[in-house]
Structure 1
């Protein structure tokens, strides 16, 4: 499994370098937003999702499924490596974001930057897990080309959904207000555990679906 993950990293080295520059660009684009936490989540989702989809695209272009299934590798390992790369991309994105904000902050180019908190990292991880848990089963079912339309719908729908939730809370939606009130009564540790548990549960269920789909495919 580690060799499969290393394969993705080597194939995506140019994309990874580009994503670092893209992240810095996004910091300037969203610098006008008052909520710095939102900027962090937007950057994390964009970078991680871009790397995830790019990895799938390269595998599809290089007919990696045909090659991998000709090797003594179980399909659970092939699918699992794709899901574990989500964690790798998240860690990479967080590190690059921290480094980029420190450099930009030292140059006093964006005055509103602030240190990243654990809650923000978990919130970004939940958003990324939600997207990946939906996209990856579609990728394993249809391949990259046929799943591209779902990729765009998911990516832009994610931000539209966040806006709807924010608008719902602002307008006094009783369900959303109830959830917000419940969370406000919990400690930071409990909220963090709930977010992390939800994210891991989404990925675990998604992995099971993807594995079932992938085992039934013919190459």
Structure 2
């Protein structure tokens, strides 16, 4: 499932993207924004796989927004201006949709993103962390949850807990957003290893992870609750 957001200051443009996205099973458009500032705040807390991004917007353009992001998702530009096409590829854009665009053209662009994501998944099922003078390999599937505290993490796996010096932003870059989701300011959980959810807590083996109000709506939407 591709997790995406749309950013465009034109309400009709957002409606078109939402309509097209609703027709693609493997695309989850989790939110839409009419200004870049709100989207930027959201993205700093909620990594996504893809942004449908207008370029020419007031206050903060689409290109300026990308420059402010540490963790850059895949981007499909959606704009009425052809003159930005060449510049957009300096930002590693997957595709450039010129308004107005039909569903077939929209689907082609999304398919390109899916192919890019799948190719990366085939290459990586793990990452490395530093442990003193050693580097330890951790499989994605082995992780239950991750707790952040300042510049350190507690990575709880099925067998043990690792505590590397690493920030939340750094670990999010290493993890597939299709498998991991934030449920609290301090917690990421592996969706595949959730046993049950009760009393606003994620239960994973003997662990209970709190679900905060700030992340509850997105979390349950992701699980189709």
Give the number of the structure whose residues are more often strand, by fraction. Answer: 2
Scaled by the length of structure 2, the TM-score of the pair is: 0.30
Higher-helix-fraction structure: 1
- Structure number with the bigger relative contact order (C-alpha 8 A, sep ≥ 6) is 1
